[in-house]
Structure 1
Amino acid sequence: MLTRRFFAAFAALAVIAAANFASAETKLPAKDKFHLFLLVGQSNMAGRGKVEDEDKRPDPRVLALNKAGEWVPAVDPIHFDKGAAGVGLGKSFGLQIAEANPGITIGLIPCAVGGSPIDSWKPGEFYKPTNSHPWDDAIKRAKLAVEKGTLKGILWHQGESDSNAKLAPTYDAKLQDLVKRFRAELGSDVPFLVGQIGQFEDVPWDEYNRQVDQAHQNLSKHVVNAAYVSAAGLKHKGDKVHFDSASLREFGKRYAEAFTKLTK
């Protein structure tokens, strides 16, 4: 008798739990009203800013695809590449785009991988520090996302790992190839936005930083529908590498402004 009562009670609890889970799931809009943006690059795209109260507040019109492939409210950190993931530029970008487009829900697809050089963003490449395949994982997640929404843009921030004598000279050609591969794989010439690497007052650039930055600035001369987003005046969080939280929120707004200008 006790056994039957136990299983009956367990079954009842399972039904309640399932109902609660279903009610907690994020309801998605129609596919054409769900605008998706792929977030790719290295740690400054993933975000290493300190998470504060404003970063924890969800907005019903800005969602993010979590590690498990589920759409959830975009609450920082939305990336999961490393334990150090924090505030990034994605959420502020999404909020700005949503505000400018009534009736549209924004879906962020976080795929940045901290420390990854551009050479790791190729099919089949394994990036040992995070035990991941940056390119393959991003394409897989992007294709999962577009089952529910419409891809509208790709946001790229990367280049710190390539700012050296060995890699900087070939960065320009590799970046152009990367854009072409993303567009070919995802079947769309959506806007491609590339952000400037940190130009901090107390961290002077060398010739290799300048070479990578020039490749970023020149991208729109070689591929259509591309834009460069300035990081002028933004600050690091004390480590001379990663933008602080306030700067990342501002950077996201700058990406949004660049996207709006490009699409107009």
Structure 2
Amino acid sequence: MKPAFMTRSLAAGLAFLTVTFFAKNGFSQDPNFYIFLAFGQSNMEGWASSSGKNNQIEKQDTTNVPERFMFLPAVDNGSRKKGVWAVAKPPLCRSSTGLCPCDYFGRRLVDSLPQAIKVGIINVSVAGCAIEMFDKDKDRAYIGSQADWMKNIDKQYGNKPYGRLVEMAKLAQKDGVIKGILMHQGESGSSTGNWKSEVKKIYTDLIKDLGLDSNKVPLLVGGLTSDSKNNKDASLPWDLVKSPRTISNCYVVSSIGCPVNMQDDGMGGLHFSGAGYRELGKHYADSMLVALRKLGTGPTPVIDKKIQSGAVAANGLELKTTSSSVFFKIPQRGFVSIKAYTLGGKEIAEFAGSEFSAGNHTVQIGQNSIPKGIFILSLRSGTAMVTRTFVGSR
């Protein structure tokens, strides 16, 4: 009996040490590690010229990348190994790809969310592919008739792009929580009439295969370059949110204002420029921040506490906003401070900092003062303060 007892004790001790080791080394699931899946074709990959000389990645894209922004390579990517978290320096899809929307999606999120939140990206995309490439029941039939260069990309994903996305997502779920799915596809193979149903099937398959709740994990789909060129949200993805809704928890991300690359190997501007990818990534992030707040997982309670720093109830203060003006009312003469903060509590602008008489007042918001996104506006007078959420539109 004694040897058996010692064996059981030893096993229990080893199990305890193993659990402790993994917990201390960051392998346990962290609810503050927000993970996002990304898939699509070349605009989600990040366009790079066929010569490989232009991937639209500049010094600004590779410097000062926040350590809170990570990516999980789906293939070996330079010195970054498949399935091993790394700081999210581009390229985030494969070593031969370029700057992509995920880059500034992640940067915008970590800048807007509390310091305790980390962001992780998994990007599995295939240039030129139709949506069927990510349908696990149709991908083999689809790829069989495609060009060798696309088959080579498929091969890098183990001949199963959807399967590789799920594989990496399951690995990531050991470390964090999947919060959203990003997609950019529609330039290829979208004229068959099955595009919307295919998108819904792929989203539904991901939700099921990863054990997710569709009410808590939205699908974000980006608008095409045609919307930016025509200054009108009219491309195929917008059909997803027209009544009747194809996917209930779906956001279409506008591409208006995202510059297009008209020198994309003679493709006529099918791809965004580096500046376009930076802006589109921020648009994705803005939509995700809206989704997080709707889901009740946004950081508002943390922010309010951080910004208030001792302020009391806003007795008699009123605060309203438009895209260009702040309207406020104070009950008595006094010093008024009006500031804008990111959702993470970082001050980004001050619109007032002087004495005002009692009554109603208007302060103009400079168009270049606030970037596009969701922010907190704070009005403080004496020891009283009121805050409001507002959306920057630059």
Change in Cα spacing, 1:139 to 1:97, as seen in structure 2 (3 Å) is same
Question: Once superposed, what is the RMSD of the aligned Cα atoms?
Answer: 2.6
Change in Cα spacing, 1:217 to 1:224, as seen in structure 2 (3 Å) is closer
Does the aligned pair in 1 maintain the 2:223–2:235 contact within 8 Å? Answer: no
Q: Tell me which of the two structures has the higher relative contact order, counting C-alpha pairs closer than 8 angstroms and 6 or more residues apart.
A: 1
Q: Deviations over 1:168-201 (max 9, x none)?
A: x111211122211111111112111011111167
> Which of 168, 179, 190 is equivalent to 1:163?
190
Aligned to 1:185: 209
Unaligned runs of 5+ residues in structure 1 are 1-25
Matched letter for residue 131 of structure 2? I
- Confirm or deny that 1:88 pairs with 2:100: yes
Residue aligned with 1:221, SS: coil
Aligned to 1:54: 60
Q: Deviations over 1:125-171 (max 9, x none)?
A: 2442522322111111111111111111100000111234xx2x111
**C-alpha separation between the residues in 2 aligned to 1:140 and 1:241?**
30
**C-alpha separation between the residues in 1 aligned to 2:28 and 2:60?**
25
Change in Cα spacing, 1:213 to 1:54, as seen in structure 2 (3 Å) is same
Aligned to 1:78: 92
**C-alpha separation between the residues in 1 aligned to 2:161 and 2:244?**
24
Residue aligned with 2:120, SS: strand
Alignment of 1:1-264 (within 5 A): 31-48=30-47, 49-57=55-63, 58-66=65-73, 67=75, 68-80=82-94, 83=96, 85-102=97-114, 103-123=116-136, 125-126=139-140, 127=143, 128-130=151-153, 131=155, 132-164=159-191, 167=192, 169-188=193-212, 189=214, 190-199=217-226, 212-218=236-242, 221-237=245-261, 238-239=263-264, 240-264=269-293
TM-score normalized with structure 2 length: 0.54
Change in Cα spacing, 1:200 to 1:193, as seen in structure 2 (3 Å) is closer
Q: Determine what percentage of the aligned residue pairs are the same residue.
A: 28
Shift, 1:77, TM fit: 0.6
**C-alpha separation between the residues in 2 aligned to 1:100 and 1:220?**
33
TM-score normalized with structure 1 length: 0.79
Change in Cα spacing, 1:219 to 1:71, as seen in structure 2 (3 Å) is farther
**C-alpha separation between the residues in 2 aligned to 1:253 and 1:210?**
20
**C-alpha separation between the residues in 1 aligned to 2:28 and 2:203?**
29
Residue aligned with 1:162, SS: coil
Shift, 1:29, TM fit: 8.5
Change in Cα spacing, 1:201 to 1:106, as seen in structure 2 (3 Å) is closer
Matched letter for residue 44 of structure 1? N
Q: Larger strand proportion, structure 1 or 2?
A: 2
**C-alpha separation between the residues in 1 aligned to 2:183 and 2:46?**
12
Unaligned runs of 5+ residues in structure 2 are 1-24, 48-54, 76-81, 144-150, 294-394
Shift, 1:262, TM fit: 2.0
Shift, 1:46, TM fit: 1.2
Change in Cα spacing, 1:101 to 1:219, as seen in structure 2 (3 Å) is farther
Change in Cα spacing, 1:200 to 1:261, as seen in structure 2 (3 Å) is closer
Change in Cα spacing, 1:172 to 1:147, as seen in structure 2 (3 Å) is same
Matched letter for residue 51 of structure 1? I
**C-alpha separation between the residues in 1 aligned to 2:27 and 2:186?**
34
Greater shift in the superposed pair: 215-224 or 243-252 = 215-224
Q: Larger helix proportion, structure 1 or 2?
A: 1
Shift, 1:62, TM fit: 0.3
Aligned residues: 231
